[in-house]
Amino acid sequence: MNLFKIFIISLISFSSYSQVDIRGVVKDAANMPIEFADVFLTDANNQIISGGITDDKGAFNLTTKQGTYKLTVSFIGYAEWNQNVTLDKDMDLGSIILKADKNQLDEVVVTAKKPLIERKVDRLVFNIENSVAASGGNGLDALRVAPGVRVQNDAISMVGKSSMAVMVDDRLIHLSGDDLIIFLKTLQTDNIKSIEVITNPPAKFDAEGNSGIINVKLKHSDSDYWNVSLNSLYRQTTYPSGTFGGNFNYQKENLSLFTNLSYENGSKRETETEKIFYPTQKWDNNFKNRKIAKIFSSHIGLDYRLSDTWSAGIQYLGNFSRPHSNQYNKSIIKDNISLSIDSIINTIAYDNKKTLSNSYNFHSFIKLDTIGKKISTNFDYFDFRNDLKRSFQTQAITEDFSSTPDGYLSVDNKGIHDLKIYSAKIDVDYPTLWANFSFGGKVYFSKTHYDNKYFDSTAGVPILQPNRSNIFDYDENTQALYFMGNKKLSEKWSIQLGLRIENTQTKGNSITLGEIDRNNYLQLFPTIYILNKTNDASVFSLNYGRRISRPRYNELNPFQVYYSPYSYTQGNPTLTPSFTDNIEFQYAFKNVLFSSLSFSHKSRGRGNPPFFDDDTKIQYLIDLNFYNTDTYNLSEVYIFNKLDWLQTELQGNLFYTTTNFTKDVNISEPKGWGAFVSVNNRFVLNTKKTINGEINFWYQSPQFQDVYKIKGSASLDLGLKFSLLKSKLNIGVFADDVLKTDIERANTKSGNTNYSYSYYNDYRNFRLSVNYRFGATHLKVEKHNFGNEEEKNRIDN
């Protein structure tokens, strides 16, 4: 602690003694923070010397020269607060309580509407509360309309960049693929307040996520309140589906309780075509897949305030799903010279899963004083189990529909994936008059177990094939420490610095192969943010951060997953993490124009390039660290809000990507330009503003992604929302991908084989949503964050 004091004193000696800070926190009589309150200093001539507004915590910090001033705090509906202050050094006023204005009219209600997009020092905030297109949908629908975010084929990424981690209320969701999509579908957009796009997360957050983090912030209400929300959603794609759910929230004095239950039942259709041009043959593969989902989720939490400074609570988050799919594949094989059909291969496949996950969290929150010093702790246990049964039957026939010799094969795959994660973390916020500091640490231990078996049932009796079966155990332990500080250098300049250290030990044990792979690494993750507020209209920022993307658990498992006799995927226990350095320059003008110029360098890039065996005609994917990528990205967002009845958001991205392979994968290195443009129109259709509409369109130009050249795609989305019974009843009607143009098409060349595919995930849909709320008028439910979420993001499908 003495060294820490010496460090702080030495830094203070470099600051200017002519500049002083005055800070405080503005609250109401119920001790709730007041956001957007005006705070300003005036001199003896009643001239404003310095001023600003309070943030979402009610806090303010003004910088000015030494002297005597009058400090004024005002907010509509409250009596003005004044105090004379003599500033010869930094001053902290603690809490400032505003009293209700007795002269205000009883029936006057003042509503402050936040701008659609806000630029903060380390993130872009998209306030989605008034988005029509997302209303009545789920978390996945919300991400689809967030600026700069792309959701395609169950993958979430930044426009022109790689994938991102996902958080909910600052809680990283450690799921991937179908499991992550299922989780996001359990969130109702009517309960989502905003979406934060954090391209360079501060050191406090886990370093996982190459392109940063998407943070979904849920709504929170006032104190002394209970309410119930009932919602239902009907969605029609090729097949129908329905979602039903409800929330109950209660907060009274020291007790907070919340529950969230949701059930989804329905299906959708996936279609895919492949064309494989071997030197002597052409394969036309057609896939039709009906995916059926039955998902039940629950989220229950209890918080209790033990004293004015100490609160504690527990949370449970559970998910039980029974997804299954029926797939029909048809392969037509032609001779390249005669163009005649050599054979036809028909495959019928069935997938049945049973997935159960349980998250248990205990947390404690201690306030050390009234100016923001606090300690929070989290203890978490996560248990995940996935039982999978996959079977397929293949029959090869000739052109005249007669069976080929040995052309029938029947296979059963059975697998178990068990994962357990134990974690603990502590976070300390320590603001001082000189700067705001945060520091803390986290430890976690994970154990995962795979038991995959391959049975040949061609003869009618399943026969275990040991050479194609696998038992794999994987242990991972990580210890992390971080320190960060934020300093307002002047009225115009502020800076935030951070450093995170993560030490990881892994052990992969392929019991079947008798191989053990170990990997120990210590990594540093620095972050820096520099912000310049030239005036109330213009804000410039420059930031840098280093990120990591650890392999998902199934990517490490060397088991070969067969989808047909001619197609399989395989993990790799020797995979190592990939790392990304991100640097970004940003400019914001009046919260209507946002410009960004960024560069990112990814090293040890991880993927599964396609390989083709010209002799056996087997197509396979193997996870490898095999490339480095540089990406340059120019982004512009403009908000037109000059008309009361119309708001338009225009976005354009131009990016250039170049990739260098570090291993010989026999594929040409991709490089080239890409672009993304979108226009979102939100409009009011009546004077009472109870009928709102939305017309959205986006276009993605051809671009390069990993080893593929992706062709262009687009989507047109429409929506209407009706608010009835004083907004207690909301009805929405929506249509997504009306023109059926959101189709992924790509091609590449591996060795002597040209390969192309087209994939459509039933994005065109019609949905009808109904949401009804009832209860009192004040509620605050303290929803706490889980502490073990980084590890869960890497769970496989």
Query: For residue 21, is pLDDT > 90?
Result: no
In terms of pLDDT, which residue wins out, 533 or 139? Answer: 533
Residue among 216, 193, 217, 192 at smallest CA distance from 137: 192
User: What residue numbers bound the domain in which 45 lies?
Assistant: 16-97
Looking at residue 310, its amino acid is W
The arithmetic mean of pLDDT across residues 727-732, rounded, is: 87
Query: What are the CA-CA distances from residue 491 to residues 62, 293, 487, 764 (Å)?
Result: 7, 54, 11, 50
From 54, 73, 97, the end of a domain falls on 97
pLDDT tens digits, one per residue of 279-291 = 999 999 999 999 9
Alpha-carbon distances of 778 from 30, 222, 225, 251, 335, rounded to whole Å: 12, 4, 4, 9, 72
Query: Does residue 582 carry a pLDDT above 60?
Result: yes
Could you give the CA distance from residue 91 to residue 654 in angstroms, rounded to a whole number? 47
The whole-number pLDDT of residue 698 equals 93
Distance (Å, rounded) from C-alpha 368 to C-alpha 271? Answer: 57
Q: What is the pLDDT of residue 141?
A: 74
C-alpha of 587 from chain center: 23
CATH of the domain at 48: 2.60.40.10
pLDDT at site 202: 86
Mean pLDDT computed over every residue of the chain: 84
Which of 97, 118, 135 marks a domain boundary?
A: 97
What's the pLDDT at 791?
52
The total of other beta-carbon atoms located within 10 Å of residue 454's CB is 22
Residue 130 confidence (pLDDT):
62
Distance CA 573, CA 559 (A): 10
Burial of 475 (0-12, 13-18, 19+ CB in 10 A): middle
Q: How confident is the model at residue 720 (pLDDT cuts 50, 70, 90)?
A: very high
Q: Please say whether the beta carbons of 43 and 84 come within 8 A.
A: no
Summarize the chain as % helix, strand, coil (round to 5): 5, 65, 30
Of 71, 97, 123, which residue constitutes the final position of a domain? 97
| Higher pLDDT among residues 709 and 211, named by residue | 709
pLDDT at 8: 39
Residues 6+ apart with CB under 8 A from 311: 303, 304, 305, 364, 365, 782
* Rounded distance between C-alpha atoms, residue 515 and residue 518, angstroms: 10
Higher pLDDT, 726 or 518: 518
The CATH number that applies at residue 284 is 2.40.170.20
287-304 mean pLDDT: 90
Question: Is this model's pTM higher than 0.85 or not?
Answer: no
Distance between CA atoms of residues 762 and 269, nearest Å: 6
Per DSSP bridges, beta strands 123-127 and 619-622 are unpaired
Q: Which residue has the tokens 């929300």?
A: 229
Structure confidence at residue 120 (pLDDT): 62
Residue 144, pLDDT score: 75
The mean per-residue pLDDT over the stretch 237-262 comes to 87
Q: Are 734 and 717 in contact (CB under 8 A)?
A: yes
| Residue 324 is assigned to a structural domain of this protein | yes
The yes-or-no verdict on residue 400 having pLDDT over 70 is yes
Share of the chain above pLDDT 90, in %: 41
Residue 188 maps to a domain: no
Residue 1 has pLDDT above 50, yes or no: no
* pLDDT top residue among 111 and 229: 229
Looking at residue 741, its pLDDT comes to 95
Mean per-residue pLDDT, 81-91: 89
Classify residue 140: in a domain, yes or no. Answer: no
**What is the per-residue pLDDT for 112?**
44
Among 72-81, 438-447, 575-584, 691-700, name the one with the lowest average pLDDT: 72-81
User: First vs last Cα of the chain: how many Å apart?
Assistant: 47
Q: Does some domain include residue 3?
A: no
pLDDT at residue 108, as a whole number:
37
Tokens of 756: 């192309």
Asked whether residue 762 is domain-assigned, the answer is yes
pLDDT surpasses 90 at 352: yes
Residue 103 has pLDDT above 70, yes or no: no
* pLDDT attached to residue 491: 81
Q: What is the pLDDT of residues 161-220, one digit of tens each?
A: 667 778 777 766 666 666 677 677 767 676 777 888 887 888 888 888 877 788 888 765
> d(Cα 59, Cα 484) in Å, to the nearest integer?
19
In a domain, 103, yes or no: no
pLDDT per residue as tens digits for the range 468-527? 999 999 999 999 999 999 898 888 899 999 999 999 999 999 998 889 999 999 999 999
**Higher per-residue confidence, 693 vs 789:** 693
Residue given tokens 């830094």 in the structure block: 11
Instruction: Report the C-alpha gap between 333 and 395 in whole angstroms.
Output: 13
Rounded Cα distance between 697 and 739, Å, is 11
User: What three-state secondary structure class fits 325?
Assistant: strand
What lies within 8 Å, CB to CB, of 720 at 6+ separation is 132, 691, 692, 693, 694, 732, 733, 734
CA distance 345 to 328: 11
Query: Is 161 domain-assigned?
Result: no
pLDDT at 333 over 90: yes
DSSP per residue, 542-587: EEEEEEEEPPPHHHH---EEEEETTEEEE--TT---EEEEEEEEEE
Token pair recorded at residue 268: 């959708």
- Confidence bin at 35 (pLDDT 50/70/90): confident
Q: Where are the alpha helices (DSSP H) in 668-774?
A: none
Distance of CA 39 to the CA centre of its chain: 35
Nearest Cα neighbor of 412 from 465, 364, 376, 481 is 465
Q: What average pLDDT score do residues 360-389 get?
A: 89
The number of folded domains in the chain is: 2
Q: Find the angle CA(309)-CA(310)-CA(315) to the nearest 5 degrees.
A: 145
CA dihedral over 509, 511, 512, 515, signed as positive or negative: positive
Encode burial over 562-575: b for 16+ CB neighbours within 10 A, e otherwise.
bbbbbbbbbbbbeb
DSSP one-letter string for 172-220: E--B-HHHHHHHHHTSBGGGEEEEEEESS--TTS-SB-TT-EEEEEEP-
pLDDT beyond 60 at 11: no
Whether 350 is covered by a domain: the verdict is: yes
User: So what's the pLDDT on residue 405?
Assistant: 80
* 527 and 671 in a common domain: yes
Q: Stretch 336-365: mean pLDDT, rounded? A: 90
Q: How far apart are CA 247 and CA 232, in angstroms?
A: 12
Q: What is the pLDDT of residues 585-594, one digit of tens each?
A: 989 888 788 8
